[in-house]
Chains A and B, each alone.
Chain A
Amino acid sequence: MKKIFLPIFILSMHLLSGCSDEFLDVDQTESISTKDIELFNNDAGAATFVTAIYSKFLDFNMSSFSWNGVSSIASDDADKGSSPGDTGTDKDVMDALTYNPSSLSITEIFSANYEGINRCNQALNIIPQLEKADATLRARLMGEAKFLRAFMYFTLVKTYGGVPIIDRLPNPSSQEDRTMQLTRKSKEEVYAFIEKDLSDAIEVLFDKSQYPSSERGRASRGAAYALLAKVNLYQKNWQKVVDNCNLVTGYAIVPDYASMFRVAGENDAESIFEIQGVGSIPIRGIQNYSVSQGARGAGGWGWGFNTPSLSLLNAYEVGDLRRNATIIFAGTTLYDGRVVPTTVENPRYNYKAYSSAIPDAEQSDTNIKYLRFAEVLLMKAEALNELNQTSGAIPLLNQIRLRAGLGNTTAVSQADVRIAIWKERRVELAFEHDRFFDVVRTGQAVAAFAIHGKTFVAGKHEVFPLPQLFLNETAGLSSQNPGY
């Protein structure tokens, strides 16, 4: 027996020591190692890095509850809504403009957009390495990434003013990259960066019509021009607004305003850029976007937040078709036959977020329309008016009013037309995440909020505070916005 065991023992000792390190090399199976980049070295693989960026817009922290808090509830178009006792974490203070640098909405919009920017930078870093993918495709995908990066920086600069510009993948152990991540750039530098990204994107993006039918939601050349026009608008570069609006071609306003916010109107002729939720299986939608704005209480179907304000209701002229397409009123019947009983907790809800098929689930088929041709017309009208071409502006404005079932504008003077366009923007784009930034941009904020019954402090509330989490990291490299 001894003769058998000693060799076994010696053998096992040898086995263990001989190739011990190799024995410990275990390939991971739970997740795809970043060593295996070859898996993505093809057309479809390259595209996934850009799909991930679009996917970011479906996240709760990016497009849903917090975004409504910042872009809508904080504005004079909406109230917190819901039950009086349900704060929605911070929606009560967002509504009252008493938020602070730690408020969740303010923190989430900052971090979510930088998460999206990371995805852009990952795509911009990886796609050039995927040399087996088609070169034209790769160029276009890079263009989409740059468009989306510009879109997110535009959100950041509107919301916070100047922010750090992360234009590459930071190396965690590089001091230079650390400084880049912690230092605010000026508003002007951010706008310049956005314009550069959009110019690059315009070179390589397809027109909307060039995309296959299943990919019409991708960023197109028209979307890049429209966004560039809006960026110009925010900087009051009126001529550029006009020029870029003129380059947004192949779109038209649709006859029925209400249809745009239903499944049938998704990616219609007027749509330039929108975020896609699809209700057929597998369901993939904007997380809790619809349900968080659905009617609350007995007979309701949602959380009841972000309700149309009295100020918005009063802004509609008599006969404006957009009023009933934008606002769900308690005690009415919706287009799909759903009865909204009077027992719901709030008198009004956001119709544009309503999903007929899936009103009460986390995932729904609701889209968010970020750029529509109607806004291009309004931007152009506003710019022409500012360029003293008021007569050129009025027909554009009337085109929008006509579709809404209204007569031509009565405004004639440049100043009146300006006010008319601003008002038209409000009712046309209500609940499309534009209002707060628009009243700030146009300088109407103090007056508008007074009507809304809230105090907008000039010099402070134009931008939201930088998140405290970010300031804690910066150790003095960046400073807070004034007043916070």
Chain B
Amino acid sequence: MRNFIFSFLALILLPAYMSGQIIKGKVLDKEGIPVPAAIIIAAGSNTSADTDFDGNFNINAKVGEMLKISMLGFDPVSIAATAGLMTVTLQESQDTSLKEVVIIGYGSRKKIDNTSAITSLRAEEVSKMKVLNASQAIQGKAAGVQVISSDLPGAAPSIIIRGLGTALGGRTPLFIVDGMPTDNINNINTNDITAYEILKDASSLAIYGTRAANGVVIITTKQGGGNKISVEVETFAGFRAPLKAVKMAGSNKYSHYSNAALQTTTFSQDQPVNTDWFDAITRTGTYAQNNISVSGSSENVKYFFSAGNYEEKAVLNGLDFSRTTFRTNNEFKISKKLTVSQNLSFGSSNSTPKPLDAFTNAYKQSPIIPVRFPNGEYGISLVGANGFAGVAGSSFNNVGNPVAQLDYFDEQQRSITLQGGLKLDYDILDSLKFTSQFNGEYYSWKNYNFEDSRRIWETNNNPGRLSSIIYPVERNINVLTKGRSQYFNWNLSNYLTYNKVFANIHDIEVTAGTETSIRGPREDLRIVRRNVNENSNYWSLAGVDYGATVLNYNDVVSNENRLLSYFGRFQYKLMDRYLVTGTLRRDGSSNFGKDFRWGTFPALGLGWIVTKENFMANVKALNLLKLRGSWGKLGNQNVPLNNQAYSIAGLTSYLGGSILFDGTTINSQIDPSLSWEVTEEASVGLDFELLDSRLKGSFDVYDKTTNNVILNTRPLITSGISNASPAHVGEVSNRGYEIALRWDDRISENLSYWVGGNFSSNKNELTGLSNAILAPVIGGDLGNGQFTKILDNSAVGQPLGSFFMYEYAGFDPATGAKLYLNAAGNPVTQDALNAVTDKKFVGSILPTSNYGVTLGLNYKNFDFSVDGYGTAGAKVYNGKKAQRFAGENVEDSLATNFWTANNITAPNPAPFNQVPVASTFYLESGDFFRINNISLGYKIPLQGMFINACRIYVNAINPFITQRFSGFSPELNGDGNPYGSQGIELNAYPALRSIVVGANLKF
């Protein structure tokens, strides 16, 4: 990337004119690589010149005259001109802020000249944490960015940038991978990433217009460099285990508790079996990754090739995941003016998913049941007259055997993602460049799921293998589901960049262009067949018509989406210190009605580099002080559509015979004016560097309002329209601030260290609703008739993702029954509650703040770093605990000391046999602080050997956590939906602790 900047700067150099004699020379960096576009000024002769691509320069000057050679990112050098060929070596500047470049949409900008809030992370910061998805590795590293990660292999973390601005629309940021807009980056090998830029404020985001409201993450992959071939091998392997355990009651305590609940002596108090179900369904996870890359450059070509493989055997039995990636990134300099770059990546994932409710079932299933009965059949919940679990008896809960569940669950998924692009840069004039970029993305997914229905039935109904119990003949022997899914998206952008400095003080850069994006129709096929051959080799035979065995056949081609855009950006820098950026984007989207499809998104950014002012020249302690401010409008087009359609699904009926007739009706009311959500943001910030740039920091304050949030309104009940009607009726506000600080110091040649941290605070609120009746979003389903969240008219004034439930008020000392506050404030039992009036809002899944810390040191060949992350202010719901209603297991702490007539002061209420209502009894603080990564590395000193460099390392990922939550993990991404299972521990994959050993070799 740097070379690109260099050649770009070469275009804006002042013209030289003839005087004196020609002095020739070459400018090199300390490694002997030519430095193009360095500026040579002969002050005496009043001439100047710049180096070409090979670092050569010619300048009119007098021998002996002092030449000043300067280049961005290097310390300037003054040297006397000589008649012979001069060789000048430049030293890299320590002032990193001068050379740092950030990628902005459709271009790049020196960080110092940037007016917007962008967090840039370099490869080494992201790749140090050995996780599959790069998004997880940025957790805690960028202020204002909340990452809710999951250790489930292949899961995509949720990223929330400066607060959640939408309730029903798409919530994920837009990812731009080497110029290609995409929805997720699961297919990107973290090792291939060189830079990760998170665009946070309106000034930087507006160039992405209608897709920018959730923020943008720009990912740049690696490019070749250097003057010889470099081969890099990275390999690691590690172990994984759950970070926290939850202690369940053992058999005898379970029996005691359950007998108390049932008021019987169903269960013997002296059980022969004590199954740890969590243990029974988990194993020590292992994972390993191997990567190799080959890169280099020659005069006209830069090349990079990499291959990577990731394998994980997850902690949940049978859950395996693997991913293979290939990437080539090449750049060809075809002529002095024309550069063509190409990139292509291939990613293939294979997995054998397992149902996550096995975790809930393991939590709930009674320890008195053996994994397998003595006869070899899976243990199920039957209790005999002797009070022990056995093959005969009465059923005491409806939880299946979680081990059997995993064993029977037979699914495989495979996906392939191909992404590629071609980019062409052409220098029309020295100051005018044309860029054209095409990118395409092809995705293909397939799966099968085989259900051995008969065996499952026999396990649950005939554990005694009685010949009298026969599987009903009319039932399916087995069920096979096969799915296929694919899409092709492409994107074409063309833009011109004009950059010129006038009169030495007016630095102008103008970008203008167009873009076309097509999200092709996604096609999903799903076929469900019954009674297939037991041998999976023979599921798909030639010459067989499976029509008669098809239970279900779905074939959906989803709507194509097109986007047409015009954009322009004007960046102006006056006297190297006053900065102005103006951005305008006009987007047309096929998602919306003809009169509502075009939107304009403007933004303005201002910056002032105070330390460049003369009056600051004597303030030595302050190396940099920059003030920034921005305002702009951003859109979110991933919102519910409003095409009115005939309903046909689920409307069939028989009419008295054997023919199933199709049905049609209209079950929607449309609002033709539906369009995107618009977020307006104003923000100010400052960047500073103190004490020889050892202390760096930034501070940002923002105020974001989305005043046309789309929510589902409910058509009048007597209209008979049951489909909600999305309309622009809500207003959501996000206000917050971000602080980032980092101290870097070098104590001696051998020892350097850093300490850094960031803190962000965000207040999210649904601030208003226009006159509308919302179709309540009743969310946070616990699967037992209880719901924990709501978004309806009463949610105004609450943050999004708010919990809504009864307030627990202790238990009745006379009966041990749990009590809840009703609307009047009186404690009542569950049966006396009024579902309409007695529930209240009790906090949100969204944290009000999150923070990250980092520290590290390099001593001789050792490097050591620690990264931590925490959040505060969020609530989490212990959904698995709130499941018990009959015969399920309970936690040890609950079974140990509960209310009885003789123990009325116990900390826990009396055992009960009733689905507990959703209440604050199960709501806990989600606050946590976790060490995300500890890394210790050692560079083996290698001199003149075949291997140039070798670093071996040990990482501990998530080694420690402090949490207030009593469950496995307070970090609960769930389905990623704040009104779904996010923030609820139910069927959740636990957070893991991993130990990794690896090596990185360069040849």
Which residues in A have some Cβ–Cβ distance to B below 8 Å?
1-2, 5-6, 8-9, 12-13, 16-17, 20-21, 23-26, 28-34, 36, 40, 45, 47-49, 51-55, 57-58, 83, 85-86, 89, 92, 100, 102, 110-111, 114-119, 121-123, 163-164, 166, 170, 172, 178, 181-182, 211-218, 266-267, 276-278, 280-282, 284, 297-298, 343, 357-358, 467-470, 472-473
Contacts and interface: CB of A to CB of B under 8 A. Distances in A.
Contacts of A280: 658
Given A24-B564, A182-B718, A48 B662 contact: yes
B654 A20 contact: no
A343 B720 CA distance: 43
Nearest to B493: A12
B788 to A, nearest CB: 16
B661 A47 contact: yes
A53 B334 CA distance: 68
Given A51-B663, A100-B834, A214-B657, A284 B652 contact: yes
A20 B718 contact: no
Given A166-B719, A215-B655, A5 B434 contact: yes
A51 B662 contact: yes
Contacts of B428: 2, 5-6
Contacts of A100: 834, 836
B666 interface: yes
Given A2-B428, A48-B664, A24 B718 contact: no
Given A40-B664, A119-B720, A278 B654 contact: yes
B893 interface: no
Interface string B532-563: 00000000000000000001000011111110
A53 B521 CA distance: 32
A43 to B, nearest CB: 12
Nearest to B548: A281
B717 A215 contact: no
Contact of A216 (B655, B717, B915): B655
A181 B657 contact: no
B337 A31 contact: no
B663 A48 contact: yes
Contact of A55 (B558, B562, B644, B663): B663
Bin the interface of chain B by size.
35 or more
B644 A33 contact: yes
Contacts of A5: 424, 426, 428, 434, 436
Interface stretch (B241-249, B586-594, B622-630, B934-942): B586-594
A122 B559 contact: no
A175 to B, nearest CB: 13
Contact of B651 (A34, A55, A276, A278): A55
Interface in B550-606: 551, 556-562, 564, 566, 588-590, 594, 597
A89 B653 contact: no
Contacts of A278: 654, 658, 660
14 contacts: A9-B436, A16-B514, A26-B559, A34-B666, A40-B646, A48-B662, A48-B663, A53-B663, A55-B651, A58-B653, A122-B666, A166-B718, A266-B656, A470-B717
Given A52-B653, A58-B653, A89-B785, 8 more contacts: A8-B436, A16-B514, A26-B559, A31-B647, A83-B886, A100-B836, A163-B718, A278-B654
A181 B719 CA distance: 7
Contacts of B16: none
A339 B831 CA distance: 35
A215 to B, nearest CB: 5
Contact of B643 (A1, A6, A33, A123): A33
Given A30-B557, A122-B665, A298-B394, A276 B655 contact: yes
Contact of A118 (B337, B521, B594, B721): B721
B650 interface: yes
Contacts of A34: 644-646, 666
B659 interface: yes
B722 interface: yes
A28 B335 CA distance: 46
What 10 A-B pairs have minimum CB-CB distances, sorted nearest first? Answer: A118-B720, A214-B657, A217-B656, A52-B663, A31-B645, A216-B656, A51-B663, A48-B664, A114-B720, A55-B653
Given A102-B835, A166-B720, A281-B551, A1 B338 contact: yes
Contacts of A284: 652-654, 660
Nearest to A49: B664
Contacts, number: 229
Interface string B688-728: 00000000000000000000000000011111111000000
Contacts of A110: 717
Contacts of A182: 716, 718
A199 B652 CA distance: 27
Contacts of B717: 110-111, 114, 467, 469-470, 473
A281 B531 CA distance: 14
B89 interface: no
Contacts of B663: 48-49, 51-55
A357 B475 CA distance: 10
A40 B494 CA distance: 45
A172 B727 CA distance: 13
A215 B716 contact: no
Contact of B718 (A181, A215, A277): A181
Contacts of B716: 170, 178, 181-182, 473
A283 B835 CA distance: 36
B558 A1 contact: no
Nearest to A48: B664
Nearest to A178: B716
Contacts of B834: 100, 102
Interface string B226-260: 00000000000000000000000000000000000
Query: Quick one: which of B496, B718, B914 has the most chain A CB within 10 A?
Result: B718
B590 A25 contact: yes
B664 A52 contact: yes
Nearest to A267: B656
A47 B836 CA distance: 41
Contact of A217 (B394, B514, B562, B655): B655
A281 B476 CA distance: 12
B386 interface: no
Contacts of B715: 172
Contacts of B658: 214, 278, 280
Given A89-B785, A276-B654, A118 B665 contact: yes
Nearest to B426: A5
Contacts of A181: 716, 718-719
Nearest to A55: B653
Nearest to B913: A85
Given A21-B594, A218-B656, A1 B914 contact: no
B785 A51 contact: no
A26 B560 contact: yes
Contacts of A33: 643-646
Nearest to B337: A1
B516 interface: yes
B773 interface: yes
A469 B792 CA distance: 12
A51 B661 contact: yes
A291 B131 CA distance: 47
B656 A214 contact: yes
Contacts of B492: 12
A102 B837 CA distance: 10
A49 B646 CA distance: 10
B445 interface: no
A323 B646 CA distance: 46
A260 to B, nearest CB: 15
Nearest to B785: A89
Contacts of A13: 494, 514
Interface in B385-429: 394-395, 424, 426, 428
Query: Quick one: which of A21, A89, A118 has the most chain B CB within 10 A?
Result: A118
A172 B564 contact: no
Contacts of A20: 564, 588
Given A5-B426, A89-B785, A215-B655, A26 B562 contact: yes
